[in-house]
Amino acid sequence: MKPSVTDLNDNTVDDPTQPVELILGNQDFTSITEQVSDIVLEHKTPKAWYFAFAFFAGLTGVLFLMIAYLFITGVGVWGLNNPVSWGWAIVNFVFWVGIGHAGTLISAILFLLRQKWRTSINRFAEAMTIFAVMCAGIFPGIHVGRVWVVYWLFPIPNYQSMWPNFRSPLLWDVFAVGTYALVSLLFWYMGMVPDLATFRDRAKGRIQQIVYGTLSLGWRGSHRHWHRYEKAYLLLAGLATPLVLSVHSVVSFDFATAQLPGWHTTIFPPYFVAGAVFSGFAMVGTILIPARQWFGLKHIITVHHLENMNKIILATGSMVGFAYATEFFIAWYGGNPYESFAFVNRAFGPYAWAYWIMVSCNVITPQLFWSKKIRTNIGIMWVMYIFVNIGMWFERFVITVTSLSRDFLPSSWAYYDPTIVDILTFMGSFGLFFTMILLFIRFAPLIAMAEVKTVMPIADAHGGERRSVGDYHGDIPRDDMKGGDH
C-alpha cells in the first residue's frame, strides 16, 4: 500500500516517496503546547458548549429522575415480563461496557506495539472509556430490585450468614468491570500528569493554578520524574492489555454459562471482544470528528488517524460478521432442535426487524470501508460510525431478548416491549456520557501533548533517533536544558 500524505484541507494524495506525516502544518513544540492549552486556558467558552451542556445535563437529570422513580415504584415500571426477565438494563450495560473498550486498546495495546499514530487520539479514547464505564455501572446497580438491601451482595459478615455466590458470572462482572475501571482511570490520569503541569505553568487565574497544580502532583519535568512516569505508564499499559480481552469475555459469561438456547455458546468471549472494539472505535470516531472541526485540530487529528481507525473497524466488523455466520452454522451442524429454532427465530421471528437492523449496520456498513474514498471521507465515515453504534446496541438487544422471549415452553412465550421508563433511562445515560465529555473538553487537555511531540519531525533531531517522551518537557528538548533536575 502506498504511503499517503494528507494536507490541512483533508485532501489525501498517494505519494510513495514521502513518509506518512502524523502532525501537519510544520508544527513545533511551542505551537502544539499553545494550540492545545489555549482551548482551555485562553479561548472563551463558546455559546454552543453551554447549549450542549444544558441539553445533556437535562438528560442526565432525566436519568436520575427515572432511577428515583424506579426505586420508589419497583422494577415493574420496566417492560419485563415472564419469560423476559432481562431487558434494556442488561442490554444497556453490555453496550456501554463495549463502548469503553476502544480506549484501553488505543492507549495500552497500541502503546505496547509502538504505534505512533495513537498519540493524537489516545486521550479522547481514554476519557471515553472512563465515562462509558460510569454509564455501564449504573444499570446492573439498579436492576437488582431492592437496592436498599444491596449490601447483601458484598462478602461481609452479617447476622443472616448470607454470602454471594462466587460461582455466578454476575459476580465475576463486579470484579472484572471494577478492575477495568480502576486501571483505566489510573492509566488516563497518569498520562495527563505532564500536560496538567503544562496547564499549571500557563494558567493565569489563581483557582486554575491551584487546581492544576494539585492535579499535576508537583511535576517538574526532571529526569527522575520522567523515568518514574515512563515506568509507571509502561506497567499500567501491561496491566491494562489483558483486561481488554478479559473484561468483555467475563461479561459474555453472563450469557454463555446459561443453558438457554441462543446463549449457551463458546463463541461468545472472542465474539464479544471483537464487537466491543468495533463499537468502541466507532464511538471514538463519533466524538473525534466534531472535536477536530470545532477546535481546529485537523493538523493533529488527521485523516490518516481516522483512516487507521476505519481499518480497525473494518477488521473487527468482519470478525463480528463471521461470528454471526458461525453461530448459524453451529446451530445447524450441532443438530439441537432448540438451538436451531433460536437462531431461525432471530432472523425470521417477531424480532426479525431488530436482527436485520443489526446485520445491516454491523456487517454491511463496515464493508464500505474497503473503498479508500469512503475510508477518507469525513462526512460519510461519521454517519457510518453512528450506524455502527446503532447496530451494536441492537446486537445486544437481539442476544438478550430474542433468546428469552421464546424459550423451551411455547406456553410461556411473550413479546417484550420497553416502557417509557426504559427509554428515558437509556436516553439519560447518553446525557451523562456526553455531559462528562463536555466537561472533559472544557477543563482537561484534549490531546496528549507530551506524547504528540515525540512523533513530530522535529523530534528526529540529533542523528535521526526517535527519543522517548521523557526527552521533551514544555516547549524545548530536555537535552538542551541546564541545571540538573530543572
- Domain range for residue 195? 4-145+182-480
pTM, entire model: 0.85
- Does residue 129 sit within a domain? yes
- Does residue 160 sit within a domain? no
C-alpha cell at position 457: 519531525
- Mean pLDDT confidence for 234-255: 86
- Mean pLDDT confidence for 195-199: 89
| pLDDT, position 249 | 87
- Does residue 330 sit within a domain? yes
Which segment of 167-181, 186-200, 271-285 scores lowest on mean pLDDT? 167-181
- Does residue 167 sit within a domain? no
Residue 403: half-sphere exposure toward Cβ, Cα within 13 Å: 20
Q: Report the phi/psi class of residue 12: left, alpha or beta, with left for phi > 0 and alpha for psi in -120 to 50.
A: beta
Question: Residue 95: what residue type?
Answer: F
Which strand (E) or helix (H) includes residue 73? helix 47-73
Q: What string of DSSP letters covers 412-447?
A: G-------HHHHHHHHHHHHHHHHHHHHHHHHS-SS
- The strand pairing partners of 13, in sequence order, are 5
Q: How far is the C-alpha of 31 from the C-alpha of 107, rounded, in Å?
A: 24
| pLDDT, position 81 | 81
The answer to whether residues 52 and 387 touch, using CB atoms and an 8 Å cutoff, is no
Residues 371-400 as b or e (16 or more Cβ within 10 Å = b): eeeebbbeeebbebbebbbbbbbbbbbbbb
- Does residue 176 sit within a domain? no
- Does residue 448 sit within a domain? yes
Q: Does residue 57 have a pLDDT over 90?
A: yes
Give φ, ψ of 264 to 5 degrees.
Answer: -75, 80
Q: How far is the C-alpha of 314 from the C-alpha of 24, rounded, in Å?
A: 26
Mean pLDDT of the chain: 82
| pLDDT, position 479 | 39
Helix ranges (DSSP H) in 295-377 = 303-334, 337-348, 352-359, 365-367, 372-375
Q: Between the CA atoms of 312, 450, 131 and 136, what dihedral angle is there, to the nearest 10 degrees?
A: 50
| Strand ranges inside 87-239, DSSP E | none
- Mean pLDDT confidence for 42-48: 82
The answer to whether residues 94 and 396 touch, using CB atoms and an 8 Å cutoff, is yes
Which segment of 13-22, 361-370, 425-434 scores lowest on mean pLDDT? 13-22
- Does residue 289 sit within a domain? yes
| 459-484 per-position pLDDT tens digit | 665 433 334 444 444 444 443 333 33
- Does residue 425 sit within a domain? yes
Contacts 24+ apart (CB under 8 A), 163-171: 169/250, 169/253, 169/254, 169/257, 170/140, 170/254
Percentage of residues of the chain with pLDDT beyond 70 = 90
Q: How far is the C-alpha of 1 from the C-alpha of 162, rounded, in Å?
A: 61
C-alpha cell at position 9: 484541507
**Could you tell me which residue, 460 or 314, shows the higher pLDDT?**
314
| pLDDT, position 455 | 77
The answer to whether residues 129 and 140 touch, using CB atoms and an 8 Å cutoff, is no
Domain total in the chain? 1
| pLDDT, position 51 | 92
| pLDDT, position 18 | 60
Q: How far is the C-alpha of 280 from the C-alpha of 324, rounded, in Å?
A: 19
